[in-house]
């Protein structure tokens, strides 16, 4: 599969963008490029903790050694393309769109916004969310992915946005595609089996449901 290369025109990071970072994960920073697009950039260093000690390691080297990933942005875009082709239109609106890679290897994605134009927030900001439309769509997503045994993992409240499509209706939007495929976790051989994939999916979705229903705030 070919990797989409986006034009660099109009997407050079500037001081304004870096001062308005949208989010931060273990390995990357996300900041707005314009009103519709954001960019994921790999951190030069990440903090590694062992017991009471912490130290900085090179992020790219760490990913290569621990996850066998040479380019996390390129890998995620390939995962997204493979995943999105397997799901139905009924749930496609619940998955954030990845646009392509810049020449520098940064990953471009569409910014998710609420009905009023505000940028949608992570589910971590909505512990105990009671919203029928959110719950119903989450159930549809779980049912389809589980029934098809699509190996789509790493789903936590951090990686799910709550997109308010009206003042009363919310839509879950999944935004992370790093873990996709039967070999996503080196030390979980059960994922080579369909039954193992389904159990893993159900376990992750159960944690999300427990969080948004206010039953448990433990999800890592």
* Domain edges within the chain: 21-212
pTM for the full predicted model: 0.84
Locus of tokens 């979980």: 188
| Per-residue pLDDT, 88 | 95
- Cβ contacts of 190-194, under 8 Å, gap ≥ 24: 191/151, 194/149
| Per-residue pLDDT, 204 | 87
Q: How confident is the model at residue 2 (pLDDT cuts 50, 70, 90)?
A: very low
Quick one: tokens of 206? 């159960």
Distance CA(43)–CA(67), nearest Å, equals 16
Quick one: tokens of 132? 């029928």
Q: Is the pLDDT of residue 20 over 80?
A: no
* Phi, psi for 160 (deg, rounded to 5): -120, 125
| Per-residue pLDDT, 184 | 52
Q: What is the mean pLDDT of residues 158-166?
A: 95
User: Crossing angle of helices 132-148/194-212, nearest 10°?
Assistant: 170
C-alpha dist (Å) from residue 9 to 5, 20, 46, 120: 12, 20, 29, 26
Q: Which residue has the higher pLDDT, 63 or 10?
A: 63
> What DSSP state is assigned to residue 161?
E
Q: What is the mean pLDDT of residues 95-116?
A: 95
Q: Each residue of 170-190: b (16+ CB within 10 Å) or e?
A: bbbbbbbbbbbbeebeeeeee
Q: Which residue has the higher pLDDT, 143 or 55?
A: 143
Nearest to 175 by CA among 199, 149, 152: 152
Nearest to 75 by CA among 46, 96, 98: 98
Q: Is the pLDDT of residue 5 over 80?
A: no
174-210 pLDDT tens trace? 998 887 655 555 556 666 677 877 888 888 889 899 9
Q: Which residue has the higher pLDDT, 191 or 154?
A: 154
State which of 44-48, 114-118, 124-128, 151-155 shows the largest mean pLDDT.
114-118
């Amino acid at each position: 599969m070919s990797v989409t290369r986006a034009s660099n025109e109009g997407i050079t990071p500037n001081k304004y963008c870096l001062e308005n970072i949208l989010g931060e994960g273990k390995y990357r920073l996300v900041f707005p490029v314009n009103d519709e697009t954001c960019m994921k950039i790999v951190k030069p260093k990440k903090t590694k903790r062992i017991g009471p000690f912490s130290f900085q390691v090179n992020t790219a080297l760490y990913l290569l050694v621990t996850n066998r990933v040479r380019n996390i942005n390129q890998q995620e875009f390939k995962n997204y393309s493979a995943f999105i082709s397997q799901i139905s239109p009924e749930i496609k609106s619940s998955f954030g769109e990845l646009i392509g890679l810049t020449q520098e290897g940064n990953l471009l994605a569409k910014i998710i916004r609420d009905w009023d134009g505000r940028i949608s927030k992570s589910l971590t900001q909505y512990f105990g969310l009671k919203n029928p439309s959110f719950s119903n769509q989450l159930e549809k997503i779980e049912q389809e992915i589980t029934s098809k045994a699509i190996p789509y993992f790493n789903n936590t409240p951090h990686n799910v946005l709550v997109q308010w499509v009206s003042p009363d209706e919310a839509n879950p939007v999944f935004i992370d595609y790093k873990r996709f495929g039967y070999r996503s976790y080196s030390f979980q051989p059960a994922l080579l089996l369909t039954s193992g994939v389904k159990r893993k999916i159900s376990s992750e979705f159960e944690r999300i449901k427990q969080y948004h229903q206010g039953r448990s705030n433990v999800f890592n």
